[in-house]
Chains A and B, each alone.
Chain A
Amino acid sequence: MKARVFVTLKPGVLDPQGKAIHHALEGLGFNGVEGVRAGKLIELELADTTSDADIESMCRKLLANTVIENFKIERMATQ
């Protein structure tokens, strides 16, 4: 089984990297970009017995820093 964990900065937390990407996009002439927030995607290969609670615990203990970040888990069925 695979799972994807999306780690994003909480709303309201300043994102200097997102801001820099935004400026770079404008520099390339892309108009109408109203905001950019940068985050992380972490792909996990897991034993089928791994529970949702286990994945959530991984996120809370290591993958995200819940002081500043939110996370979203997406389980993917194995082909």
Chain B
Amino acid sequence: MSSAVIVFPGSNCDRDLAVAIEQVTGKAPAMVWHRESELPAGTDFVAIPGGFSYGDYLRSGAMAARSPVMRAVVEAAEKGIPILGVCNGFQVLTEAGLLPGALMRNAGLHFVCRPVGLKVENSQSIFTSAYSAGEEIAIPVAHHDGNYQADAGTLDRLEGEGRIAFRYTGEVNGSARNIAGILNDAGNVLGMMPHPERAFETAHGNTDGRRLFEGLLEAVA
């Protein structure tokens, strides 16, 4: 699998994500700078990392979503190429219009940085096939703007179409319906606030996040 990790000024989880992808796929991803207008030919997985792209100016993810490389990412998404956005990556995907809703300031106003319980709501997607439906896993979050909000109609549609990938098992940031991660309607774009690359090796405490990458590799390769 040929992967690409998008790097914005202020990204800070890009290398962690690259290590995780390389360990699972056996191939180091291309690190693609935000000024690029194309993805490397043959890219079949794109990951958008966590961090503070453009210093979170204007709104988290707002500037990154309008950078040249994102036009190529939108094209890739339209072709069905899997796109994963983690944390700031999730914020970028909503700002780019690839996922519905918005990520607002945490309801408690605090930066939340700790492992959280997640319930796998959909184990049929290409990203979640290594989990079982209803399974509870633990993956760390680290964010200030993770409070997922959308209008009631959008939330009902996400639920009805099985597009909620993960839900928090307890209160974390005020997200509507405890949403931690959602899929687009075609199922090839996943945005999630928790960091699967931080629950990857036994030294991290658990390897629940590693299975996301393993499942994706199996589903795509």
Interface residues in chain A, defined as those with a beta carbon under 8 Å from any beta carbon in chain B: 13-14, 16-17, 20, 61-63, 65, 67-68
Contacts and interface: CB of A to CB of B under 8 A. Distances in A.
Nearest to A20: B109
Contacts of A16: 104-109, 147, 174
Interface residues of B, number: 19
- Centre residue among A17, A61, A65 by max chain B CB count within 10 A: A65
A67 B105 contact: no
Contact of B95 (A17, A20, A63, A65): A65
B174 A62 contact: no
B17 to A, nearest CB: 25
Contacts of B150: 67
A13 B149 contact: yes
Interface in B110-162: 147, 149-150
Interface of B: 58-59, 62, 66, 94-95, 100-102, 104-109, 147, 149-150, 174
8 contacts: A13-B104, A13-B149, A14-B107, A16-B104, A62-B66, A67-B100, A67-B102, A68-B149
Contacts of B149: 13-14, 67-68
Nearest to A61: B66
B109 A62 contact: no
B104 A14 contact: yes
B59 A65 contact: yes
Nearest to A40: B58
A67 B101 contact: yes
Contact of B174 (A14, A17, A61, A67): A14
